[in-house]
Amino acid sequence: MTTEQIAATINPWAVAQQQFDLAAEHLNLDPGTRQVLREPRRALTVTFPVKMDDGIVRVFTGYRVQHNLGRGPAKGGIRYHQNVSIDEVKALAMWMTWKCAVVGIPFGGGKGGVIVDPKKLSLKELEALTRRFTTEISVLIGPERDIPAPDVNTNAQVMAWMMDTYSMHQGYTVPGVVTGKPISLGGSEGRNEATARGAVYTVVDAAAHLGMDLTKATVAVQGFGNAGSIAARLIRDEGATVIAVSDTGGGILNRGGLDVDRVIGWKKEHGTVAGFPGAKAISNDELLAVECEVLIPAALENQISAANAGRVKAKIVAEAANGPTTPEADAILHDNGVFIIPDILCNAGGVTVSYFEWVQDLNRDHWSEAIVNAKLKEIMDRSFGEVLAMSLLEEVNMRTAAYLVAVQRVADATAMRGLYP
Ligand code: NAD
């Protein structure tokens, strides 16, 4: 079976609950809190019609899940993908709760998705689907309630349509209802790069901790979209050599180093990194096993599983993607001495700058990119330090440490608020 086929057999919600259970056990959480945090607070399923370009009406299914609102409004992206499921959205929403807590920003966790392959839609159909989906989930979203953002296959344009649709319903412009908007509509400088930038900050921190010289390090990146392609560029800027990248079209390898800017240009032109001149074609399975110092999974869930974890040769796995490693794979990587920077820490730069965007929107303010990046670095470095300290203190791996920090913060907020009524 290929990595993709294996990934499809693993339920991300079961993975998310398993990761939570491990932390809850370690923290000795009381059974009531454990039950509350183990389930989403709200899960909305919507089915809605869209008139396609040929006049035919198609019905789509989408979801918006709010996992926990204890520390603030729900926050989390919207995914458009043919394999979206309620269990995937629940897992992603729970991970958002922990992510916001681990970096200490005042949000709970949410996530949304629509079952659709957006590459098969025209721009007009994509806009119609986005506007109707926004309308359907408008019973949940709002700048004080639940604030969506981009995720797989959604971008600043999709966020602009969401913001406009919500604003039309309100009768006035509400920029704070979504983040990841275009700069011209109240988007933040640096938001587009934030997930990758935050991830690279954590790689720099990990390398310093491990005594690894990044200027001598080689890097492989799985997934070449917003998170992956920008992470490749930024880690190259740190002096590392990117030798392999992949996307749904396949992978490419050049042990002497890939020219990242040219690969980005090639992907823009051809829709995939595959076929890039001067590089060897490799499969996504081979990419994960490439001899390198740093592996950055930046695609989808369950890519590193028990089936292939033993073949990972990287010393650092930096999880730009959400949920790329299964709990079984975690144990194998840990036993093999691989240092994992867990997703809820590694890719938290995206939601952190989303938080900055929301603050700017509410204050009708606009910060420079230098200010955004400096504030992001401060939060990523501090959070990495706190998780590393927990890992050393409790003698647990970085994922469990990140969960201990995050779940404790959410449990404390839950306890302080008390039980209503
Ligand atoms: P994107 O749609 O911009 O890019 C996804 C990339 O992954 C594409 O290049 C696609 O071809 C590739 N891909 C998909 N399936 C693959 C496979 N089986 N093998 C190899 N490549 C594959 O999405 P994105 O926003 O970059 O998101 C990627 C990951 O990062 C997701 O897990 C997402 O949840 C996570 N993430 C994104 C953000 C953000 O701000 N965009 C924030 C935090 C986490």
CB 62 within 8 Å of CB 136: yes
| Residue 395 DSSP SS3 | coil
Catalytic residue of the set 75, 99, 111, 181: 111
User: Which of 151, 230, 264, 343 for mutating ligand 1's site (highest number of atoms within 8 Å of CB)?
Assistant: 151
| 189, 204, 227 - which closes a domain | 189
Q: Nearest C-alpha to atom 12 of ligand 1 is from which residue?
A: 223
Task: Supply 131's token pair.
Answer: 């506007």
Domain-located, residue 182: yes
What's the CATH number where 272 sits?
3.40.50.720
pLDDT at 3: 87
CB 103 within 8 Å of CB 350: no
pLDDT at 176: 98
pLDDT at 302: 95
Q: Residues 68, 183: one domain? A: yes
pLDDT at 132: 98
- Rounded to an integer, what distance in angstroms lies between the CA atom of residue 143 and that of residue 350? 17
pLDDT at 2: 87
State how far Cα 76 lies from the chain centre.
9
Domain-located, residue 16: no
Domain-located, residue 30: no
Domain-located, residue 257: yes
User: Which of 78, 157, 247 for mutating ligand 1's site (highest number of atoms within 8 Å of CB)?
Assistant: 247
Q: Residues 325, 295: one domain? A: yes
Domain-located, residue 53: yes
pLDDT at 364: 96
| 313, 346, 379 - which closes a domain | 346
CB of 327 closer than 6 angstroms to any ligand 1 atom: no
Look up the domain containing 254 and give its range: 193-346
In the residue annotation, 111 being an active-site residue is answered as yes
Domain count, the chain: 2
Q: Nearest C-alpha to atom 35 of ligand 1 is from which residue?
A: 321
Task: Name which of 136, 145, 142, 147 is nearest 114 in CA terms.
Answer: 136
| 346, 370, 389 - which closes a domain | 346
Quick check: pTM over 0.75? yes
What's the CATH number where 45 sits?
3.40.50.10860
pLDDT at 4: 86
Q: Residues 259, 243: one domain? A: yes
Domain-located, residue 283: yes
Q: Residues 165, 213: one domain? A: no
CB 250 within 8 Å of CB 282: yes
DSSP code of residue 9: T
Domain-located, residue 34: no
Q: Residues 253, 154: one domain? A: no
Task: Name which of 338, 325, 344, 322 is nearest 225 in CA terms.
Answer: 322
pLDDT at 1: 84
Q: Residues 182, 244: one domain? A: no
Residue by residue, pLDDT tens for the chain (421 residues) are 888 899 999 999 999 999 999 999 999 999 999 999 999 999 999 999 999 999 999 999 999 999 999 999 999 999 999 999 999 999 999 999 999 999 999 999 999 999 999 999 999 999 999 999 999 999 999 999 999 999 999 999 999 999 999 999 999 999 999 999 999 999 999 999 999 999 999 999 999 999 999 999 999 999 999 999 999 999 999 999 999 999 999 999 999 999 999 999 999 999 999 999 999 999 999 999 999 999 999 999 999 999 999 999 999 999 999 999 999 999 999 999 999 999 999 999 999 999 999 999 999 999 999 999 999 999 999 999 999 999 999 999 999 999 999 999 999 999 999 999 9
